[in-house]
Amino acid sequence: MYSYRACAEPGCRRSAFFEDERCLDHAADPDALVAGGIERLRGSDEIRNLNLAGIRLDGLDLAGKSFICCSFANASLQAVLFTGAHFKICLFDGADIGSCDFSGISAQFSSFGAARILNSSFENSELLHLNFSGARIEDCTFNNSNLYDSRFIKTELVTTAFQDCDLKRVHLIPASEVGVSYRYSNTAEAIRDLDHAWQ
């Protein structure tokens, strides 16, 4: 289970960052904390219970690593390679994700709620029970992926491809769709309105 520690700063509702008692905004030395978090990411193949909420990562290679109960909420992730990584109970809520590679990943019970995801790939992946509700997803591809029981409720989908995907029990109720392709995908098995969500 994800270990949540509140920031020790009175009145702050954010979570404590990495090994500190405070969030990044209230930490005494945020640069040193960020450097320590990046060092942990680089030095471990299996990463558990790591809170990096609000961190900025640029061009980092995290391919093939395993993330369990980690938080990247409200982070800025730019050109990060997560290729072939494993995620379980991880949070990307509110993150700004640009030009990242999530292809070939295995992810379960993780959330990208209200994230902004641009020009990123989730191709050839197992994306089970994920939440993308409230996110804006633009110029992305999910081709050849299994999205079983994932949520795209009130999501903005722009020029994004879901070709040859398994959409069984996917809650596909976007706020808007522009230039989205579902070619060869089983859209008939997706849930397209909330009236049928629990049937």
* Whole-angstrom distance, CA of residue 61 vs CA of residue 103: 13
Supply 150's token pair.
Answer: 């994932």
Q: Does 1 have pLDDT greater than 70?
A: no
pLDDT of residue 4: 74
Domain 51-196, what fold? Pectate Lyase C-like (2.160.20)
Calculate what percentage of the chain has a pLDDT beyond 90. Answer: 92
* Whole-angstrom distance, CA of residue 79 vs CA of residue 176: 26
Q: Does 147 have pLDDT greater than 90?
A: yes
Domain coordinates of the chain in residue numbers?
Answer: 51-196
Mean pLDDT, the chain, whole residue set = 95
* Whole-angstrom distance, CA of residue 68 vs CA of residue 113: 18
Q: Is residue 164 left, alpha or beta, with left meaning phi > 0 and alpha meaning psi from -120 to 50?
A: left
pTM here is 0.94
Write phi, then psi, for 44 (nearest 5 degrees): -125, 140
- For residue range 153-192, what is the model confidence (pLDDT) as tens digits? 999 999 999 999 999 999 999 999 999 999 999 999 999 8
Task: Please enumerate in sequence order all residues whose Cβ is within 8 A of that of 61, keeping only pairs 6 or more positions apart, or say none.
Answer: 80, 81
Number of separate helices (H) and strands (E) present in the chain:
1, 14
CA 84 vs. chain centroid, Å, equals 14
Q: Does 198 have pLDDT greater than 80?
A: no
Binned at pLDDT 50, 70 and 90, residue 54 comes out as very high
